[in-house]
Structure formats: structure tokens, C-alpha cells
Amino acid sequence: MAEEEEDSPEEPEGPKGAWLKQFVILAVLVLAGQSIVAYFLVTEQIVPGYFGQDDGSEEAIEAKAMKREAVVVEAPILYSVDEMIVNPQDYHILRYLNVKMTLELDAQETLDLVKSDPVIPAKLLEVIRMTMNMTSFFEMDEARERGPLRQKVVSELNASGLLNDGSVDQVYFERFVAQ
């Protein structure tokens, strides 16, 4: 009986070790398979499309046809007018308008003319002030009424003759606070 007790505590480690070895082999095979699939996907699908190498497929031909030429947009010529506070017309209450605007000019020569002479910017500012002062508060208090006000300022500036042959194309309000 003593001999039987000595033999029984020793169990063979074969089944446990074999299961672990099989798992490791299976994991290596799965990773190798995934690596091969990833390699072919990258080299056959992603890289040719990335570098513009098309294979003549319908998708590639259609993608070429969908490409458009770039549209060149010229940068506008802008002149920033100093901030000003004016008193628009209102017969019942004293009103204030804090406005800062930018003028879009028609040519670079017009901008050079404005910047070269220190009197022209002051005269432009005065024309804008007079236009804003003569405009009723109720003609400028809502956002939809600012479009006609912009056009009024543009027409007054162009009619003033300060810009010689140049003109103002558009007026942009950067700040427009009416109280």
C-alpha cells in the first residue's frame, strides 16, 4: 500500500501541456493569417489609391470625371474705416449709433490713393458721418434695413468724387450698435 500511495500523487502533465502548446500554435497561425490579409489589402487597395495609381476600374474612371478645376478667387481690396459714434435722426429721443465699417474698393490704385493722402480718409469719414446722421433711426434699427443703408453709403461715397476714377464696391459693417 505504501507503494500505491507514492505512485498516485504523481500525475502526468501531458494533457495540460499539450493543450497550452495547441493554443499557442493556433494563435500564431491566426496572427500570421491576419498579417497576410492586411498586407494584401494595403498593397492592392490602399496604396494604389493613395498615390493615384488607378487600375482602370469604373470607380477610378468615374472619380477622375468628378474632379473639377480649381476656381481662382481674387482677394478683395479692403480699407478699414475708423470706429465712429453718430447721432441718427430721431425726433423723440436722442439716439446713438456706434459703427465700424470696411470699404471694398474697386482697384489697388484707389487704395493707394486713399492711403497716400491724409485728407482723403478724413473726408471719406465725414461723408459717412453725414450720411449716417441724415438717415432716420427707424431706417437702420433692424437687420433687414442695413442692406439699403449700405447701398446709400456706397452711392454717397461714389458721388462725392473723392476717389477720382475709383469707386467703392461694397460696405461691410464690422460693428453696428444702435441705441
Confidence grade of residue 137 (pLDDT, cut at 50, 70, 90): confident
- Parse the chain into domains and list their residue ranges: 12-66, 77-178
Give per-residue pLDDT as tens, 85-113. 888 888 788 888 899 999 999 889 989 99
Out of 3.30.1330.60, 3.40.50.10490, 2.40.30.10, 3.30.479.30, which CATH number does the structure's domain 77-178 have? 3.30.479.30
Q: What is the mean pLDDT of residues 20-32?
A: 92
Average per-residue pLDDT for the chain: 81
- Can you tell me the mean pLDDT for 117-125? 90
Number of Cβ atoms within 10 Å of the Cβ of 20: 9
Higher-scoring residue by pLDDT: 139, 127 = 127
Closest C-alpha to 132, from 114, 116, 152, 117:
152
pTM of the model: 0.57
